[in-house]
Structure formats: structure tokens, C-alpha cells
Amino acid sequence: MTNFENPELQVLTSKARADKAINSLKGLLLGILSDNIIDVREMDELRLWAKEHYDLISRNPFREFMLLIENTASNEIPAKEAIEDLYWLCQKYEHDSIYYNGITSDLQLLQGIFHGILADGILNDDEIFKLHEWLSENEHLNSHYPYDEIRSLVLSIVADKKINEEERAVLTAFIKQFVELKNTEIAEKVEKDTEGVSISGICAVDPEITFENKTFCITGILSRGTRNELQEAISNKGGIPVNTISRKTDYLIIGDTNNACWSYSCYGRKVEKALDLRKSGHTIILVHEFDVFDAV
């Protein structure tokens, strides 16, 4: 019997997919509700979500989801009321799968929030501040990709309580990496709005750095000292400095470039490799050189 034919595996896979679908829906709804404005484009994206997951209609509570979305589409239920009802249903749904813990659930929720706030192709101030609020309330996601990166970026944007168009474009460019918009017109708009904006890696905010038996790699140009000095300081704290990044690397130290936009600038192949490794499940924390120098 192949793995696919194994009925127990099929049940687990179906359950996992249902969990992921509900978490993504919950995040999508949170994103849509974040600015208290629900427009046609956002409702279209919700209907496209329903279409994509229609094969789950036989599982509870997907039948209720589909009915609510369908009735909203036919104007029998006001959009805001329907979305609030959908969110309530998501909250009522509880899963006990050993394969999906709270971290996984919340990261799926975050991805859904990304989807929701981009559903209309416009990232407005209210949505950004709501995202900041959610990130601040979920610090248990520290060290899990992409929480550290998005929190660092959002913090840098909202610090002065003013959001300019360049900051909006950078945040949109980062978020769109995690969203597959079903509406091609909206997707094309987002691509056009972020054309030329490059995102590579963002450092963790106020990271807890452990040195003993941890491996550190440096990239970029350091402003507080030389690489040899920092590597020696790391060794003195019990850490292991290395010159190349690998699955064994615990921390990638990003050198300051005296650029105000360091947190979302491109740092080349080491950052790219670190992000690729993290996406495949390896925990590598990106830290700014200042945090490491302060810690040693």
C-alpha cells in the first residue's frame, strides 16, 4: 500500500488541510476587518477563497462557511455581519491534531492576515496599525519566520506614527511574498505598486542571544568593529564563529551599512540562504550587529 492509499494518512492530511484552511480564513477575515471598511474587492477575494476550498464542504464547519459566503454574495446577509459571523465560526472551531501546535496555527493566521489586508490591493494606515497591534500581542512567535522580519519592519514604519508611501510600498512588497491573490486584477495592481522594491531580510527586534555552543556567521560591513574583533568576542562568550552559513548556523549577524533602510536592504547570498533554510524548517535568527555587540 502506498502512503497515499493509507486511509489513516489520508485522514490526517485532510485534517491538516482543514486546519490550515480555517487558519487562513480567520486571518483573511481579520485583515479585511482591520480597517472597518469592507468593499467589493475584499468580498470577491473571500468568494475566491470559498471556491478554492469548496472540496472541504463535507467537513464541519465548512458547510456553514460556504452558506454564509454564498448568502452574502446574493445580498441576503450584510457583508460586515457575515464576516463577523464567519470569524466567530472560526473561533468556535477547535482542533486537537498533534501535528498542528499553537505556533503553526498562529503563523497560518498571520499569513491569512497578510491575505486579508491585501485583498483589495490597498494597504492603508489602519491596516498597518492593526497589524502592528496583532504582532505586539503575539510575541511568542519570536524566532519563527516571518514574524521577526515583519515585526521589525512594521515597528520601523510606525515608530513616528506617520506612514509615507515608500514605507507602504516596502511593507506591501514584503507581505505579497506570502499571499497568492486570486483576483488577477488586484494581483497585477499590487505587482505594479511594488515594482522595483526589493526585499531580502529583516533582523529580529531585541533578540535574546545565547552564545554557549551556538554558531554565528557574519555578513555585511560592521560599523562598531572588525569581524575579527567580533568573532573573538563571540568565542569568549562560548559561541562558535564561522565564515559560511549552513544548517548548523544559529545566528546570522547583519552588518550595519549606515543606511537608514538597513532593515529591508539586500545583503546578498548569505541572507538569501538563511531565509531559504528557515523556510525549509531550520531555525536561523537574523540579528543586527548592534544587538550582538551590546550582548558581548
Same domain, 173 and 237: no
pLDDT in tens, 162-199: 999 989 998 998 898 778 888 999 999 999 998 877 66
Same domain, 49 and 167: yes
The strands making up 240-242's β-sheet, listed across from edge to edge, are 240-242, 215-219, 251-254, 285-288
pLDDT in tens, 225-246: 888 899 999 999 999 999 888 8
pTM above 0.85, yes or no: no
Instruction: Tell me the C-alpha distance between 166 and 163, whole Å.
Output: 8
Residue 199 lies in a domain: no
Same domain, 101 and 63: yes
Q: Is the pLDDT of residue 8 over 60?
A: no
CA-based torsion, 277, 280, 284, 285: positive or negative: positive
Residue at 264: amino acid letter: Y
Same domain, 142 and 180: yes
pLDDT of residue 6: 42
Same domain, 118 and 258: no
Mean pLDDT of 249-256: 84
Residue 200 lies in a domain: no
Mean pLDDT of 59-78: 75
pLDDT of residue 115: 93
Same domain, 285 and 240: yes
pLDDT of residue 261: 34
Same domain, 73 and 169: yes
Residue 203 lies in a domain: no
Same domain, 222 and 289: yes
Instruction: Tell me the C-alpha distance between 71 and 16, whole Å.
Output: 27
Q: Where residue 129 falls among pLDDT bands split at 50, 70, 90? A: very high
Instruction: Tell me the C-alpha distance between 17 and 113, whole Å.
Output: 18
Same domain, 97 and 179: yes
User: Poorest-confidence range of 88-102, 238-252, 277-291?
Assistant: 88-102
**SS3 label, residue 219:** strand
Q: CB–CB of 130/165 below 8 Å?
A: no
CATH number at residue 288: 3.40.50.10190
Range of the domain at 241: 215-295
Same domain, 118 and 177: yes
Residue 88 lies in a domain: yes
> How many structural domains is the chain composed of?
2
What mean pLDDT is reported for the chain?
79
| CA distances to 5, 31, 107, 274 from 19, in Å | 21, 18, 12, 28
Residue 1 lies in a domain: no
What percent of the chain lies above the pLDDT cut of 90? 29
pLDDT of residue 202: 59
Residue 205 lies in a domain: no
pLDDT of residue 70: 80
Same domain, 91 and 147: yes
Phi-psi region of 59 (alpha: psi -120 to 50; beta: other; left: phi over 0): beta
Cell digits for 62? Answer: 465548512
Same domain, 23 and 152: yes
Q: CB–CB of 217/242 below 8 Å?
A: yes
pLDDT of residue 31: 93
pLDDT of residue 272: 67
